[in-house]
Amino acid sequence: MTPWTLRRLTVPASLDAPDSWLLRGAVAVEHAAHRDAWGNLDLARTEHEVLAILRHQRYLRRERFVAVTGPATDGAPDPARVVGSAALSLPVDNNTHSAHLEISVRPGARRHGIGSALHDAAVAVARAAGRTTLTTSTDQRSEPAPGPASIAPSTGSGLVRSTDDGVRFALAHGFSLEQVTRFSVLDVPLDPSFLAGQHASAQAAAGNAYRIVTWDDPCPDEWVDQLAELETRMSTDAPGGGLDLHEDRWDADRVRATEAELRERGMRHSVAAAVHVPTGTLAAFSAFKRPAWTDEFVHQHDTLVLAEHRGRRLGMLVKTANLQRLAVEQPGARRIGTWNAEENAHMLGINVALGFRPAGGSGEWQARIV
């Protein structure tokens, strides 16, 4: 293995700037790891997107480290010299005891200590920022069968493969498995009459007290405070397994900042929400993130029904409303991907009823770094 050194990434002015090769190299490493884990780049971020994300640090401070082969200073500005990448996120307002770390090493450069060096550099920054809990994720293309080659999380729901590189690495670095999430894919377009039938039966169960509103960002001013409340509830009401993470408060400013970030990333944020007519408030919402660089793949993002409105099939109502709209607006869409905690039986039930099929998932890990 060629000698390598670590560098802390500074945010380049653009993707053409002289120092941008480090960012472009980091993204290439992440793509190589994605291809290795998933066989495609549906879930990967583009260079453009990573740069846009790095420009937005009001709610998440972001630090990046790269492992570079060749001379420690200077040397050719060649993205291919980057063999490892670490992205550390430090929440600014809430959960300030925590930090999240994602590490990728080129498959051909693994088992040479690069991942460990990136981990140690990120932990030093997290500790200096007063963080005591570090979380990380590992990807898997399929869930293993129960047996000696699998590990269950503290929740007891789902399994990860104990022989995967990321799992071995997480265990070697003192992380414990606190949750398993399922990645599911829905092949679209769906049969319009099936979708209309699901929507009509959900509307019948919900009754006349609820009506659907839809928007692409920006969220209309009249709903922005309530969307912030729904986003806050996402952080408390979606199952968090054994992860030591607490309420993450949103307000209208954060909704607007997130919309700006998504726009710069090239993501459309398409929302369907259920209005509770008697009170004129939002009771439920479901959102897609639609990348501009692919017509085929869509992210099914947050879905939430406020606790006081549950049990009326509003989850199915808002999801089917958004799917019906997508079928009209983006007929080229072929796959919708979504993530759910394995213990989230209600959300998984809706997704399975719509035809989402299991397509892998993640292990969610946590370590104390005091």
CA atoms lying within 13 Å on the CB side of residue 293: 13
Indicate which single residue of 51, 68, 82, 115 sits in contact with ligand COA (rule: CB under 6 A).
Answer: 115
CA angle 267, 272, 275 (to 5 degrees): 145
Indicate which single residue of 20, 136, 300, 338 sits in contact with ligand COA (rule: CB under 6 A).
Answer: 136
Q: How far is the CB of 111 from ligand COA (least distance, A)?
A: 5
Between 82 and 271, whose beta carbon lies closer to ligand COA?
A: 82
- Measured from each CB, the residue nearest to ligand COA is 166
CB 347 within 8 A of CB 224: no
User: Hey, how many other C-beta atoms are within 10 angstroms of the C-beta on 202?
Assistant: 22
DSSP state of 344: -
Between 32 and 347, whose beta carbon lies closer to ligand COA?
A: 32
Using CA atoms, how far apart are residues 249 and 236, in angstroms rounded to an integer? 10
Contacts of 196 (CB under 8 A, 6+ apart): 324
Residues 158-177 that bind ligand COA (CB under 6 A): 165-166, 168-170, 172
CB 330 within 8 A of CB 270: no
Under the binding rule (CB under 6 A), the answer on residue 111 touching ligand COA is yes
Indicate which single residue of 26, 52, 114, 134 sits in contact with ligand COA (rule: CB under 6 A).
Answer: 114
Output the CA–CA distances (angstroms, integers) from residue 51 to 16, 290, 349, in the order listed.
12, 18, 37
Q: How far is the CB of 166 from ligand COA (least distance, A)?
A: 2
Look at residues 328, 286, 333 and name the one whose alpha carbon lies nearest to residue 305: 286
Indicate which single residue of 27, 28, 33, 159 sits in contact with ligand COA (rule: CB under 6 A).
Answer: 33
Q: How far is the CB of 160 from ligand COA (least distance, A)?
A: 10
Helix (H, G, I), strand (E, B) or coil at 221: helix
Total number of residues that touch ligand COA (CB under 6 A): 19
Under the binding rule (CB under 6 A), the answer on residue 225 touching ligand COA is no
Under the binding rule (CB under 6 A), the answer on residue 113 touching ligand COA is yes
Q: How far does CA 357 lie from the centroid of its chain?
A: 18
Between 43 and 327, whose beta carbon lies closer to ligand COA?
A: 43
Between 63 and 259, whose beta carbon lies closer to ligand COA?
A: 63
Site of interaction with ligand COA (CB under 6 A) = 33, 103-105, 110-116, 136, 138, 165-166, 168-170, 172
